[in-house]
Structure 1
């Protein structure tokens, strides 16, 4: 009985098929990218918190994104690197670990959207109501918005995974390079109607509110910029909004691509590669985009580099 329970609690991860000659280069590349993600994002957070001139709502909200990127990359990359060194028949994961990873994967994805939504609100207030910005975007408001972003994602993902955990299991293979909700409920032979309905509803509400709020926000920002003759205001708005929009479009585009590839089972290998790239490329790009495109942060980084060479 104990051996049977042990077998039921161990799952096999299918992973990604990589030719032996590309295995070591892939491992080294992903390891270097992971190190870059950790150093750049954590460095950005430390830089913002250690510089009083950067203690502004916009930069404090950036920290949410950097912390979320570190969280998301750490959930996926280290275990994936370990699996690269194992044969296909040795890529085992305990069920509890799989559930934990799936929960964190969806929390990372959900928080990515909710954090970008509150960052769009911050840009809206700064550009459309500049005289009221300091009274609206107080430290208390920044904290409340951050808690709301993470709290909303946490509650929704908890329900999502809770519906999958309740199901009995008749399979033991995860057809994905990492655990997610779809992989978990596909282990069951029971009716998946409730899971599918809630999963679809959650996706529609999350993406719908995300796309709707960001689109409405930027339409209003565009209207203000078009009606304003202040070139300095328009230039600053374009700089900060372009950074935010670039990150948002990359997040949205990669998500839609994965959903599209799910519709074509024959492209499952391509979907797996895109899924891993999404968890690797976006956290790396976000730090570069924010670190190099935001003038104040770029100047601060340059000043630190100048001090290190004197």
Structure 2
């Protein structure tokens, strides 16, 4: 499918169906949303990179999450906002395949990163005396390499299977390219693709879910027996669980939007991008506000900002904490 002048094949993505009066507001909203996602995730990355106190296995694994989130957002927003302002929904076949590669790598990267973090919390809480012996730098390197190699290789094989199929349609039934939407453009037998797709779902969904359920079951049993570990478990595992649920709920909403035909086209398109919007926005915010180690890494902000923030801290405690956190870590990286 990628030969025979495939580079000249133009596919047509679904449109948002915006009237002229909403084009520029939608363009502005999409651009600001993308910039906000990139800012928050870059802030989380620089915070972890600049603070020696955060150079621990948990945060080294967490470092992969904003990278994956930025990958997913970049797969969607630049192409989407460009098409909004130009009203052009055409995309070349190679560009469509690359977009699908980024989208699925993002999904697999997030799930496998959260799985690795669940294992790290399991060792920290259930086997604290063995933690340093197990979570060595060598182990971390192997885990991180595995996260990205599995995520990329699974989707590369999946997209490579499309090369043997003949494309006979040009209308992509989605706002962005993904493997299922590309498969629907073909008119050959896709059973091999479907079987491999089920295998990929098992690896990226059933596998991580099994590991996370296993680790949380053991963590729950450990903290039930030891009351002094309960607070630590809630503190370290609560944020992780919320992030995982946000990702899975977003994926579920995206799936529902593509399967239920009774919803309006506008609603279906909105639901279709949920997986690429909400996790990249919420992940750095939730970790920034709810993770104690991130909030307590500090240097002294300038006296002017400090005085202003302390004046308003009682009215907006969470906002105060997060703004102070942002200023603090930019100051830390500059020092």
User: TM-score normalized by structure 2?
Assistant: 0.84
The alignment status of 1:9 with 2:9, answered yes or no, reads yes
* Aligned mate of 1:245, from 241, 246, 249: 241
What does 1:294-309 align with in structure 2 at a 5 Å threshold? 294-300=291-297, 303=299, 305=301, 309=305
Further displaced range: 27-36 or 90-99: 27-36
The equivalent residue for 1:256 is: 252
- 1:266: how far off? 4.0
- 1:54: how far off? 0.9
Residue ranges of structure 2 left out of the alignment (5+ in a row): 307-335
Closer/same/farther in 2, CA of residues 307 and 162 from structure 1, 3 Å limit: farther
Contact 1:15-1:178 at 8 Å conserved across structures: no
Q: Distance in 1 between matches of 2:32 and 2:121?
A: 33
The equivalent residue for 1:274 is: 271
* Aligned mate of 1:235, from 215, 225, 231: 231
The equivalent residue for 1:290 is: 287
The equivalent residue for 1:164 is: 162
Contact 1:168-1:190 at 8 Å conserved across structures: yes
- 1:76: how far off? 0.9
- 1:287: how far off? 0.3
Further displaced range: 113-122 or 161-170: 161-170
* Aligned mate of 1:122, from 96, 120, 123: 120
Closer/same/farther in 2, CA of residues 308 and 114 from structure 1, 3 Å limit: farther
The equivalent residue for 1:95 is: 93
Closer/same/farther in 2, CA of residues 292 and 303 from structure 1, 3 Å limit: farther
Q: Distance in 1 between matches of 2:146 and 2:137?
A: 14
Summarize deviations over 1:227-271 as a string: whole Å, max 9, x none. Answer: 0021xx211210111100001011111212222333323435433
The equivalent residue for 1:39 is: 39
Secondary structure at the residue paired with 1:93?
strand
Q: Distance in 1 between matches of 2:7 and 2:30?
A: 31
Contact 1:8-1:172 at 8 Å conserved across structures: no
Q: Name the structure, 1 or 2, with higher relative contact order (CA <8 Å, separation 6+).
A: 1
Closer/same/farther in 2, CA of residues 307 and 111 from structure 1, 3 Å limit: farther
* Aligned mate of 1:206, from 196, 204, 207: 204
The equivalent residue for 1:193 is: 191
Contact 2:48-2:59 at 8 Å conserved across structures: yes
The equivalent residue for 1:29 is: 29
Residue ranges of structure 1 left out of the alignment (5+ in a row): none
Secondary structure at the residue paired with 2:63?
helix
- 1:279: how far off? 0.8
Closer/same/farther in 2, CA of residues 20 and 240 from structure 1, 3 Å limit: farther
Q: Distance in 1 between matches of 2:7 and 2:49?
A: 47
Aligned alpha-carbon RMSD (Å): 2.0
Q: Distance in 2 between matches of 1:155 and 1:223?
A: 36
- 1:165: how far off? 2.8
Q: Distance in 2 between matches of 1:280 and 1:45?
A: 19
Q: Distance in 2 between matches of 1:113 and 1:248?
A: 8
Secondary structure at the residue paired with 2:86?
coil
The equivalent residue for 2:311 is: none
- 1:19: how far off? 4.2
User: TM-score normalized by structure 1?
Assistant: 0.91
- 1:306: how far off? 5.1
